[in-house]
Structure 1
Amino acid sequence: MLRRSLAAAVLVTGALVGWPDTALAADGPVGFATVNALGQNGTTGGAGGPTVTVTTTAQFLDYIARPGPYVIQVSGRITLPTGNTDGMHNVTSDKTIVGLGATAALVGGGLNIGVPVNDDVTTPPANAVHNIIIRNLSITGATDDLINVQMFSHHIWIDHNDLSNGDDGAIDIKRGSDYVTVSWNRFHDHDKTTLVGHDDDNGAQDSGRLRVTYHHNFFDTSDQRNPRVRFSSLVHVFNNYYYDNSYGIASTNESGLFVEGNYFYSVNNPGRVDFSGPLGRMVQRDNILIACNHAIETRGTVTDPRTYYAYTAGPASTVPTVVPAGAGVGKI
């Protein structure tokens, strides 16, 4: 049941409104997580390894730290301790972490995907964490980030989660990480939602990397950074639903943002390139803005995502129906 197509899960809403079937497929990612690069062919997570079901904190922390591929099924509510890690817990390569049903949750801590921070490392290390899938989990109440992707981690798919109430980012992607897809998640009750790029001084690690696809996410009153981007070679933002945010997307430090087919409702600044720090680049097409105070700012040219992967963007007019029906937990 966990692998059935999203088309069934949303009661064929897509078919009723003409939504492309390719956008609804849930058996694998769409976007940068599919690209063959850095010695990794797409993102398969723990496929080929044992499948285990965890119900306790000890079991969960044991399996996410083990070497080799595992499919880790989370049953029920698991509390992550703060301890001496500020509540961040490392996930090793080749893991699928997937919630069972609609009630699987991680509470009080977050997931860290990446080797220890080292500012002197400016190219992907041989032991970079890679090939991670996180799906169908409610993650809330972390004392730091809910999910942190850093230090050249690559091929990460974060899909169909409910993310709220973290002390810092909901999903941060930084320090040279690459080939990431963030899809069909619901973000709510959160301030600084999703950051791409560490800071204005981290170009040595981040420039030319940080290729991320955001599609079909529900930014449900998540206030800002949806996402906020520095130095990225290309961030592709399509068919997301923005509802009552202070700003949607910000592009700085010459990042390239390709923004299409999104629906913005009651968003003060849907898209910005004149923001804190050096200017970014942004192109936009086929977006809908309702009750917004400003237009999407555009600047420069941006590589078409089809240079990297095939995809089909649905019509922006259907986003307010399809995305809330399909995003979040219990939908796969």
Structure 2
Amino acid sequence: MKKLLSTVLATSLLAVSFTSVHAGGKDPGREVLGPKDGWAAARTENLTGTTGGAAADADHVFTVTNRRELIEALKGDKLTTQENDTPKIIYVRGTIKMNVDEHNQELTAEDYSKGTGYDFEKYLAEYAPEKWGMDEEVYGPLESARAAAQKKQEEQIMVKVGSNTTIIGKGDDAKIIGGGLILDHVQNVIIRNIEFEAPIDYFPQWDPTDGSEGNWNSEYDNISILNGTHHVWIDHNTFSDGAHPDSASGEYFGRPYQQHDGLLDVKNGANYVTVSYNVFQDHDKVTIVGSSDHNGHIDRGKLKVTFHHNHYKNLSQRLPRVRFGEVHVYNNYYEFSKESEYRFDYALGVGVESKIYAENNYFDFDYNVDPSKILKNWKGTSIYEDGSMISGRSKHHRVDLVAAYNRATTDPAQRFNENVGWVPRLYNRIDPTQSVPALVQAQAGAGKLK
């Protein structure tokens, strides 16, 4: 009954979604989040929603074209970029490369490893499974040197954003590549209309205890929202591995040499985030909401995030994966090809105490897929799901994802219930599932702001 009722109500509405309102004319840099557009619209004691830098005066509107100019605009007259909470609008024009020096020259692994003692060939020799084994995490001088080199790279390519900031691409070709943005204990930030290319970690860590065969693990996300940051709107961006797919990095110890981390992560007590009309494509681990099973003392009651009208294309996992948070996932278009090097694993990860409320999402495969594989249990118990459609070789059809998962699960203790304990109130409308592919493909991604 809930499936039929949802369809009837959805199809009775208009076919256009409204996600934001203007503050100060048609300038998209002064656009603010609409009053019901997801969790970032929540009213709190000190904020009535998410406005970013809309209140910026003329002296705090910048156009930047390289890393140095971006940092100067973010920093203002403060000692660090994070401290500057003056309302500001930063327009990104063209391509900003983050993995460069002060003269905009590309930096290499050798540049970062100078003075640290790191040597990749010695690292491989020291921690080779036949020498180190597979039962203990790596440690010692070479691991410490690797961590030091990785930290130097992070300080160069990752930039912290202060409160009351809008960063928005100018035109249809704004890019940030080779680095990313960190929102750390700040509030009221808008990031829109930018194409992000995932940073490359020159110094992945080998962990022989990760899984049955060990794994290489990297740092650096395109956007990290963490440590109590709240009221963030991520809208109309494009995220991908770009010119550096995972396959280009090869293998060591028989495992992929993974030089990418996430694209967009929300963790450590961050709250009130709306992620709308973005394209995520050609990547492995996309978005995690909540970084640890053991962080409940910080994350309970936080990690409230809305994902709507995003295009997830040829990705492997974490679309998103959730711990603890009340997360609304609706009207997203998931598209997967058997020809992609990024093999589909799962879409929605149900983690510890997670409370995902999923509505009217469309899953499009160009091959037959088992519907029970859309969800994955990461020690979770509950997820509410309604209105999903899956298209494979046959015509699209409606599927109850929770029922499909439960039918395929032999252990009753691993089955899901739909009692998530909350119902979303902050949204403008839920579009009919059938309309989602066309709506999202027409509107999502960088370069499509009108």
- With normalisation by structure 1, the TM-score equals 0.84
Matched, 1:320 2:437: yes
Q: Distance in 2 between matches of 1:34 and 1:53?
A: 27
- Structure 1 residue 147 and structure 2 residue 223: aligned? yes
Do 1:200 and 1:230's aligned partners in 2 also have CA atoms closer than 8 Å?
A: yes
Question: Relative to total residues, which structure has the larger helix share, 1 or 2?
Answer: 2
Q: Could you list the per-position Cα deviations for residues 79-137 of structure 1 after superposition, in whole angstroms to 9, with x for gaps in the alignment? A: 113762522211111100000111100010011110xxxxxxxxxxxxx3000000000
Equivalent of 1:73 in 70, 73, 91:
91
Identity %: 36
1:122-171 CA distances to partner (integer Å, 9 max, x unpaired)? xxxxxx30000000001103132110000010000000001011811100
1:329 aligns with 2:446: yes
Q: Cα 1:78–1:23, aligned 2, differ >3 Å: closer, same or farther?
A: closer
Tell me which residue corresponds to 2:345.
246
Residues 310 and 185 of structure 1, relative CA distance in 2, 3 Å threshold? closer
**Is the contact between residue 17 and residue 431 of structure 2 (CA under 8 Å) also seen in structure 1?**
no
1:62 and 2:72 aligned: yes
Aligned-pair Cα RMSD in Å: 2.2
Shift of 1:330: 1.0
- SS at the partner of 2:434? helix
The residue number in structure 2 matching 1:300 is: 418
| d(CA) in 1 for partners of 2:232, 2:447 | 21
Residues 1-332 of structure 1 aligned to structure 2 (within 5 Å): 18-22=14-18, 27-29=31-33, 30-49=37-56, 50-66=60-76, 67=84, 68-81=86-99, 84-86=152-154, 87-114=157-184, 128-143=185-200, 144-165=220-241, 167-232=260-325, 234-244=326-336, 245-266=344-365, 269=372, 271-272=374-375, 275-276=377-378, 278-291=379-392, 296-297=401-402, 298-302=416-420, 303-306=422-425, 309-332=426-449
CA distance in 2, matches of 1:270, 1:262: 15
Tell me: CA distance 1:21–1:199, structure 2 relative to 1, closer, same or farther (3 Å): closer
Does the residue aligned with 2:284 lie in a helix, a strand or coil?
coil
Under a length normalisation based on structure 2, what TM-score does the superposition of the two structures give? 0.63
SS of the equivalent of 1:181 reads strand
2:20–2:32 Cα contact (<8 Å) kept: no
The alpha carbon displacement at 1:246 in A equals 2.6
Rate the CA distance shift 1:107–1:85 in 2: closer, same or farther, 3 A. Answer: same
Shift of 1:19: 1.2
Aligned equivalents of 2:299 and 2:45: distance in 1? Answer: 16
The CA deviation string for residues 269-327 of structure 1, in whole angstroms up to 9 with x for no partner, is 5642x523x223111111212239x9522523121111xx2421100101111101111
Q: How many residues align?
A: 298
- CA distance in 1 between counterparts of 2:227 and 2:20 reads 31
Distance change in 2, residues 1:24/1:286 (3 Å): farther
Instruction: State the 1:204 CA deviation.
Output: 1.4
C-alpha deviation, 1:248, in angstroms: 1.1
Distance 2:17 2:281 in 1: 27
Structure 1: which 5+ residue stretches go unaligned? 1-16, 115-127
1:236 is displaced (CA, Å) by 0.2
